[in-house]
Amino acid sequence: MIASFDSLGLADPLLRAVTGAGYETPTPIQGQAIPHLLEGRDLMGCAQTGTGKTAAFALPILDRLSRTGRATDRRGPRALILAPTRELALQIADSFRDYGRHLSLRVAVVFGGVGQGPQVEALRRNAEVIVATPGRLLDLMGQGHAHFDALETLVLDEADRMLDMGFIDPIRRIIAALPRRRQTLMFSATMPPEISKLAQSILVDPVHVSVAPVSRPAEGVTQWVLHVERANKRALLSEVLRDPAMKRVMVFTRTKHGANRVAEQLDRSGVRAAAIHGNKSQAARQRALNSFKQGQIRVLVATDIAARGVDIDGVTHVINFELPNEPESYVHRIGRTARAGASGVALSFCDPEERGSLRAIERLIRVPVKVVDNHPFMKSGFQR
């Protein structure tokens, strides 16, 4: 465990910026990753937002940029960060500006959905750091606006979410245009097989760091499990939604298709609902989120990945239409309700095949989830 930023060996202007930001000690991911990154190692980081992962990669990158100059004959950024959404890209760029405030470096952000003129101009001015969403960057590369002769470090942030949003192809094409000799970092909250495969193909002898996800549900969430046959889950959902106390409900499914099906079925039965997941455009997601926040729709159906980073107050109920494969996701899901000291209810629909997932969840949270044994679709013969 690293006790202080001083002992990490970061350049003085960075230490001052970190102090200025009010950080006293490195977070676990920072303590684990920064020393290796300063040595130039590749890295696979398993960490979620909120762990301090942005500083874990931004500080060592800025350190290198501050100690060495740009090779005079090279064009383009020295560090490239790819991120799934415009919001995250802007947030990462702000962090670079914050931590780099005592250095004179330029940071540019590239994302779709707006005019490209200012972004092209920023690229032309040779910003040291570019934070980009993959689609627009590839577009600008195709038009001859982006050059990467000078690139030293590549970061893929929220890699699982980028894959989920269909960015794998643009990412591979961008990487093919980068110098082979470079430092590469990948961060991902989950480790599905596609992520391991991508990591194997682009990382060289990487250091692996992972930080423990939260394992304690928010206090104030009352948790229930309803045992039900898979085929009866939709009917059960309609039934429980008849309760007028269910004012603002988030329903979680395991797949994007599942999310669509549940939302459509609810809509047909007269419950206003919308789905958010990686196949939807940013604009469609935003529209759904706004209507949910404003109470125009009562039920938001989401996959785990789509729900990440979504911050909505006043969610009265979380319904796990399907139990997650990873027990940590359960904790994240039910943490959507009972925010800021409010109370909330989490209902989990568990079919016979999901009993193993339920046991894994109970092991993680170290308490059994109470059983609702008087609902109309009780799985007959169920014994606890």
Task: List contacts with ligand AMP (CB under 6 A).
Answer: 23, 26-27, 30, 49-55
Asked if residues 56 and 30 have their Cβ atoms less than 8 Å apart, the reply is: yes
Nearer Cβ to ligand AMP (160/354): 160
Q: How far is the CB of 209 from ligand AMP (least distance, A)?
A: 13
Nearer Cβ to ligand AMP (52/76): 52
Q: How far apart are CA 90 and CA 112, in angstroms?
A: 12
Torsion sign over Cα 323, 324, 325, 330: negative
298: CB partners within 8 A, 6+ apart: 241, 246, 247, 248, 249, 271, 272, 273
Q: How far is the CB of 197 from ligand AMP (least distance, A)?
A: 25
Q: 369-382: string of b/e by CB count within 10 Å (b at 16+)?
A: beeeeebebbeeee
Nearer Cβ to ligand AMP (49/282): 49
E-assigned strands of 207-302?
A: 207-210, 221-227, 249-252, 273-276, 299-302
Nearer Cβ to ligand AMP (152/157): 157
Instruction: Please measure the distance between the N-terminal and C-terminal CA atoms of the chain and give it in whole angstroms.
Output: 42
Nearer Cβ to ligand AMP (90/178): 90
Q: How far is the CB of 314 from ligand AMP (least distance, A)?
A: 23
Q: How far apart are CA 203 and CA 41, in angstroms?
A: 9
Q: How far apart are CA 167 and CA 87, in angstroms?
A: 16
Q: How far is the CB of 157 from ligand AMP (least distance, A)?
A: 9
Nearer Cβ to ligand AMP (23/224): 23
Q: How far is the CB of 55 from ligand AMP (least distance, A)?
A: 4
Q: How far is the CB of 98 from ligand AMP (least distance, A)?
A: 8
Report CA 328 to chain centroid distance, whole Å.
14
Asked if residues 299 and 253 have their Cβ atoms less than 8 Å apart, the reply is: no
Nearer Cβ to ligand AMP (49/126): 49
Asked if residues 18 and 30 have their Cβ atoms less than 8 Å apart, the reply is: no
Q: How far is the CB of 188 from ligand AMP (least distance, A)?
A: 13
